[in-house]
Structure 1
Amino acid sequence: MEIIEKQYLSVESLLSYRTRSTYSKLDKLIEHISESLKFLEMERTENIIFSLKENTYGTDETILDLEFFVPVSKEFKSNEFYVYKPQLMLFNAVRARHSGTYDTLKNSRKKMQTYLSRKCYQPITDFYYYINNSNLVDIYVGINGNIV
């Protein structure tokens, strides 16, 4: 897995959607979100980005708290389901390219965390997952530019 420093991620006009799911259902959820845009009379303009937090909640399968960021063609009024966010921007980010299934994202994130720790980099954002296709995901995390 190649890790690249000093990366930049900027996406505008986003539909934000929060939900819970599992790694095994992530692929179907992403497909559902893409297909649902037509019912909202919106078009996706770029690739979907998401962030996640893992929770066990005493279950056999890890439950994910997810936030999806879908770049859309027009601004809209936020409601109880979807929130409009004008921009998502990361400066001074570290990026790794994950190749594989969504079930193995955790392994790539751990490798990235090991890299950050070894370099004494302090993450200051969540990890953001930029979906290139179902088997290729770029993982971004913003880091503190001040190293003491």
Structure 2
Amino acid sequence: MTDDDTTVRPTEPGAGTRVLVVDDEPDERALLATHLRRAGCEVLEAPSAEAALADERQLDVDVAFVDLRLPGMGGWELVEELHRLRPGLPVVVTSVLDAHDYPDVEATLPKPFVGESVRAALEQALPDRAR
């Protein structure tokens, strides 16, 4: 698949997957969303924890990618609230900080984002969908 190709192949790791991306940095949010779309995902974006929680449709997802450093309600608070509202929802935390030892998340994704690390985090969060 080329960079310009928007056709989703059923063998893409994210085919049929709805993903919520929460990041207050517009460029980073857009970059992550682009990588996820290239992996076949349908992506919903939110610039804050509050925005993510304000729209019920944002919670109807298969996995959430959450930046740890959010203004207002922080990333960990959002992870806890997502788990309260959607028990069992897989969460991937994104951060420039090392987050590999944190509990209650399926994967971590270090910034800056690269395509292969995004796909690996997606596959780690949703192992039943990995191809």
TM-score, length-scaled by structure 2 = 0.23
- Could you say which structure has the higher helix fraction? 2
State the structure with more CA Rg.
Answer: 1
- Could you say which structure has the higher strand fraction? 1
TM-score, length-scaled by structure 1 = 0.21
